[in-house]
A and B are shown apart, each in its own frame.
Chain A
Amino acid sequence: MNKTQPITLLVCALGGEGGGVLTEWLVDIARHAGYAAQSTSIPGVAQRTGATTYYIEVFPVPLAELGGRKPIFSLSPVPGALDAIISSELLETVRQIGNGMSAPQRTLVISSSSRTFTTAERMQPGDGRADATRLLDVIKSFSREHHVFDMGAAAREAGTIVSAVMLGAIAGSGLFPFPREAYETVVRGGDTSAPEKVSKMAAASLRGFAKAFDAVNGPREQAALVSRLMASTPEDTLPAHALPDSVANRFPPQLRGMLALGHARVLDYQDAAYADLYVERLQKVLEAERMSDPSAAGGFEVTHEMARWLALWMAFDDIVRVAELKSRRSRAERVRGEVKAGDDDIVKVYDHFKPGAPEFAALMPKPLARRITAWDRRRQSPWALPLQVGSHSVFGMASLRLLSSLRWLRKRGSRFAEEQALIERWLAAVVAGTRTDWALGHQIALCGRLIKGYGSTNERGKENLLHVIDHLAAAPLPDGSPAVRAQAIAAAREAALSDDAGKALDAALVRHGAPARPVKAQPIRWMKRPRAGAAAGARAGTTGV
């Protein structure tokens, strides 16, 4: 170790994670051990869940040996001159590395593998999460040595906060010339009495400390943690569902996993006949794919994706489905687990429903449904029934079961017919697309991802899908070559999943020579100015949304 300059440590944490306590501990530990140390921070409003950092410097030679000289410490971390970075959140670790803080020849990086997603990541309609493996790669390639483990889990298991875990990791890394006892004494609050005597809180902190100490100290265990973390996605390990051979034999083996899931979903959703319809539809796609890709170079990806998205669309969500899902025993047990209820605790579960006229109209035959929706449109604001159903109560559960028993009605309902019509349009587009060009068909199939959810979300998804099909798959384009169309559709899909207002989608459409989605009239209440009579004209207007 270089004895002529301070040991430098950058701590990255989120507001409210106890970073302040951690730095206070470290400075106290150094002081009791007889070393000069200094910490600084920039909390401010970052304390309100934002990202913040703390910085500590310790001089590696005991004060007693400095002959009265006092080291001058830096108040801010120096990029490329850090001995260690410890961070409670994966993305924040990488943020600091991106700021140039970590030097591959010098810096030890200790990071939690756990993610606290930023709002920007969470709010996207699709999947806006940063790629964790990519983040880990950055840590690997820009650190002298790295330890990555789930500090959040360690803290939870120990029943303490993450700062205690971070302290344990620092101690375990041997960054500072302090013995383990020095750390533990300070965590105990200076109380040197036997471990079993210390306060509950201190005991929990010590447990978290120990976990992290070992995780960083024992490399093997730690490596295991990393490899577990790097384990691949669940995608390639699909649970095998019973699939009738009559069905299975009609499809190539690599499709059977997804096919089984889809078939089971549709069967569970409605009935055998409906499941047969699913298989029938899927076969059309398979035929088309076999035609355009006889050598199966594409690995039947079109059919594979259709098996997924077709099943999900055919099992579209409605009140019957929701009532069924919410009334299952497995669900009640899951909730008990999620709220961490003790064995003797009573758990009351209230479900928030707000069915509107369309939800009921969906189950009515067309003429009646049309009347209901017409009535609903005439109202100033659409009608809806806010409910809090206590699914733990007899009445609540009974009503849920009653609703879920209306499956037979679903098939006769107006929405069922509408959905089938739309599915057929999409299916036709996929089949036609695949015939002309495999890639084109594949892209149209993937657009099934746009269909999700209930009410307005679901409506929006369907409108977007149809618009994309009508204008990018079929209609004439400046450059109508299948390859270009495929690209355009892919771009449009990604855009549609990036913001719910659809601005990105419209931009993508226009960029590829297709018209933007038609502006939708939405009634808004207009303010009439009591003064300035001139302006008082407009009472009700419409605006694009």
Chain B
Amino acid sequence: MEVSFSKEIEALRLKAGDTFHGEGILAITKALLQSGVSYVGGYQGAPVSHLLDVMVQAKPYMDELGVHVEACSNEASAAAMLGASIHYPLRGAVTWKSIVGTNVAADALSNLSSPGVKGGVLIVVGEDYGEGASVIQERTHAYALKSSMCLLDPRPDLGVMVNMVEHGFRLSEHSNMPCIMELRIRTCHVRGSFDCKDNQPPLVSTRALMENPAGFDYMRLAHPPVTFRHEKLKGDERLPAARRYIAENKLNEHFPGKHEGVGLIVQGGLYNALMRSLQQLGLADAFGATDIPMLVLNVAYPIVPEEVADFCVGKEGVLVVEEGQPEYIEQEIATLLRRRDIQTPLHGCDLLPAAGEYGVEVLSTGLAKFVARYLPEHSQDSAKGWLAGNQDRRAAVATQLETPLPNRPPSFCVGCPERPVFSALKLAQQDSGPVHIAADIGCHAFGTFEPFSMGHSILGYGMSLASRAGVSPMMQRRTLSIMGDGGFWHNGLLTGVQSALFNGDDAVLLIFKNGYTSATGTQDIISTPDDEVKERAVDKQQSLVDKNNTIESTLQGLGVKWLRTVHTYHVDQMRATLNEAFTSDFDGLKVIIAEGECQLERQRRMKPWIASLLKKGKRVVRVKYGVDEDVCNGDHACIRLSGCPTLTLKDNPDPLKVDPVATVIDGCVGCGLCGANAHAATLCPSFYRAEVVQNPKWHERLLHSLRGAVVRALQPA
């Protein structure tokens, strides 16, 4: 795993009276233990990866408590795990990145929600929406509505969030509904504190096992005819029970204000941004005292009609602050007001944008309109000046810069083993012509950015091979599907490989075998090299992914006949293999396994090893590549074929030349791509590979000094 959580694991042990200081997502993790959770599962993905990562690394302590932790193969298996709480009084929690993860889990979630749960179920989803998001912009809210699950959206205060976790389990048990807790990106990474309680060892646990299975109960099956009964139960019993619990325990917060004629109804998660907007407009202080009454929905679904009605009745205007589209909450409130014939004017997406994150500036712009309309006596001059000022400055900077600034998207790490494959692919397309490339989710998706700009479609995690099934039959040239080992195990094996084999498709699949789900923080998967292998390895620098052949044997077992394994740094060989796959007579699925261990993991292994060797005064060889500034032709073809952050530019030292030359800066890990590309693409001869031998042996020194003498004799100044 990329990060070590030793400090965070200590925080999980905190007791009543202690104060927890740290990230939101870790506060949630601690809250799960305080709530007596029996089992935890999930699939990694920003912004919630840490929840599972910490629990996995905290295995010994989890065993102490009797909590079972499962790193699931995908979100569907995580959701299915919740089935344990249908029959048994087990509190279970799972986590994943939403919307994508919830999409994958949807089937199991429907079948969980229909019979309902006995033990409390909490699904912690990272609402990957707005700035910093890496997925399509959709709302998890829709799933809560269609499957009748409660949706918690606590305001981003660690104390409140922790509280809502504990309430979430109880709410789930009271209503038999699974609860989803949606946490926005910044909420997961917010650093704050809360007062701890003792962790609750679960009543039923890996240390206190159940004796017997539950008796047969058809009502617990998601199977007709009881599914029809389940649907009625949702409306007749579960939602009312949930609403009762929410109201009785005051999960939603009502903040009064002096302007009683108006009101704001806001999703809990947006509370802080709205408070800051009110401050900017001079309608609140820094401590949450607001002039406009506010109803904060820490539970976004179900709405408690009475709460909302009581809040709205008699007001001249109410603004619903709800992020993302469609505006489900606003619509529900409109309906309930209409049904009760409450005439309070309702605003929302008429004053606020329907799409995009609700930052303070966006909120203030909408809020200003609302205030201008209902509180005309309130002066907004300073706020108006501030908003206008922002616009003017943006325009002014744009004009001063003339050309817009280049973007800086993420890219392959220094020494990433996936970069060379895209170099080879760029070259192969010069030989075999351009191909349709079905891209996928994972680090390799960086291949869609410059300098490679490759990939025609991304249909989901592990979907690349499946997503070309309609393309390849329609095209003269073969298509290429790119998939990571993460995506392969997440579902590419079944949706892609199995389907292509069954249909006898003529397709080319390239699997990046780097050994981990690297984009999410290098979590282990079934094809990760074993720890013993890493222990035994004499040379800690070498890639070890070849020591685990689960992918190869799986493919062969499934019936893949054309299978090639190529080390990614052999650009020439990879180019030839791609060409062979694109042009071979073999009619069927052709799989190329691009083998090369994730550089992040290798570095984690190497750094301490090298340090210890140097400490002992042992021989160490450090490799660095370089460019001869007087030989470099300043055309930068090498950069267009690599994009490595350490292969960059510097002013041309030759006063005659004007274009900058390429240079390799500190941080180069000597991966070898520069040399491989120089040969594969016949780049200019300016690249050199330097091997720096530290603490050389005596005979090495001797040889070197003799050799050096002769070489110097041959050298001109």
Contacts and interface: CB of A to CB of B under 8 A. Distances in A.
Interface string B679-703: 1001011011111111110001100
A357 to B, nearest CB: 11
B633 A454 contact: yes
Interface in B528-547: none
Contact of B631 (A43, A325, A329): A325
A interface residue count range (under 10 / 10 to 19 / 20 to 34 / 35 or more): 35 or more
B21 to A, nearest CB: 7
A207 interface: no
A190 interface: no
B636 interface: yes
Contact of A74 (B46, B273, B691): B273
**Which of A6, A81, A312 counts the most B-chain CB atoms under 10 A from its CB?**
A81
A127 B704 contact: no
A242 interface: no
B209 interface: no
B400 interface: yes
Nearest to A456: B682
A118 B196 CA distance: 45
A78 B276 contact: yes
Interface stretch (B115-123, B324-332, B443-451, B456-464): B443-451
B635 A75 contact: no
A81 B279 CA distance: 11
Contact of B716 (A234, A238, A329, A347): A329
Given A46-B410, A352-B687, A397-B715, A40 B660 contact: no
A481 interface: no
Contacts of A48: 410-413, 443, 446, 519
B214 interface: no
A394 to B, nearest CB: 5
B709 to A, nearest CB: 10
A394 B519 contact: no
Interface stretch (A291-299, A330-338, A484-492, A504-512): A330-338
B350 interface: no
A73 interface: yes
Given A124-B636, A328-B715, A356 B682 contact: yes
Interface string A18-29: 000001100110
A500 B637 contact: yes
Contacts of A73: 272
Interface string A348-381: 1111111010000000000000000000000001
Contacts of A345: 692-694, 696
B286 A531 contact: no
B626 A339 contact: yes
A348 B670 CA distance: 14
Contacts of A97: 393, 397
A106 B701 CA distance: 61
B688 A457 contact: no
Given A39-B191, A331-B628, A346-B693, A352 B688 contact: yes
A322 interface: yes
A321 B697 CA distance: 36
B679 A394 contact: no
Contacts of B409: 50
Contact of B506 (A117, A233, A381, A530): A530
Interface stretch (A129-137, A173-181, A418-426, A470-478): A129-137
**Which of B187, B443, B587, B648 counts the most A-chain CB atoms under 10 A from its CB?**
B648
**Which of A16, A76, A99 counts the most B-chain CB atoms under 10 A from its CB?**
A76
B16 interface: no
Interface residues of B, number: 130
A409 interface: no
Given A40-B186, A346-B704, A348-B691, A49 B645 contact: yes
B450 to A, nearest CB: 5
A138 B401 contact: yes
B131 A127 contact: no
B692 A346 contact: yes
B715 A329 contact: yes
Contact of B386 (A45, A49, A81, A381): A81
Nearest to A99: B394
Contacts of A401: 714
A91 B280 CA distance: 29
Contact of A239 (B397, B655, B664, B682): B655
Contacts of A525: 431-433, 579, 582-583
B400 A137 contact: yes
A192 interface: no
A288 to B, nearest CB: 22
B410 A524 contact: no
A452 interface: yes
Given A98-B405, A120-B407, A530-B506, A350 B689 contact: yes
B182 to A, nearest CB: 15
A527 interface: yes
A398 B714 contact: yes
B314 interface: no
Contact of B285 (A4, A49, A391, A538): A4
Contacts of A125: 635-637, 659
A512 B203 CA distance: 81
**Which of B413, B696, B715 counts the most A-chain CB atoms under 10 A from its CB?**
B715
A388 B586 CA distance: 36
B658 A91 contact: no
B659 A127 contact: yes
A100 B185 contact: no
A98 B394 contact: yes
A363 to B, nearest CB: 15
Contacts of B271: 72
A230 to B, nearest CB: 15
Nearest to B632: A453
Nearest to A317: B633
Contacts of B410: 15, 45-50
B405 A91 contact: yes
A386 interface: yes
B285 A75 contact: no
A78 B359 CA distance: 8
B106 interface: no
A284 interface: no
B600 to A, nearest CB: 9
Contact of A453 (B192, B402, B634, B647): B634
B590 to A, nearest CB: 11
Contacts of A254: none
A76 B131 contact: yes
B373 interface: no
B563 interface: no
Contacts of B191: 23-24, 27, 38-40
Contact of B411 (A49, A347, A457): A49
Interface string A509-545: 0000000000000101111111100010010000101
A239 B653 CA distance: 12
A349 B408 contact: no
A391 B689 CA distance: 10
A80 interface: yes
Given A80-B389, A398-B714, A72 B275 contact: yes
B255 to A, nearest CB: 11
A141 B131 contact: no
Interface in B276-297: 276, 279-280, 285-288
Contact of B398 (A75, A98, A344): A98
A41 interface: yes
B400 A350 contact: no
10 contacts: A38-B191, A49-B411, A49-B413, A78-B359, A119-B411, A119-B450, A122-B649, A331-B628, A346-B704, A348-B690
Given A116-B645, A352-B679, A392-B708, 14 more contacts: A28-B21, A38-B192, A70-B287, A72-B288, A76-B273, A78-B360, A120-B407, A120-B450, A123-B450, A328-B717, A351-B685, A354-B679, A522-B430, A524-B431
Top 9 closest pairs, chain A to chain B, by CB? A453-B633, A42-B132, A50-B410, A530-B587, A120-B406, A48-B410, A346-B693, A51-B408, A100-B390
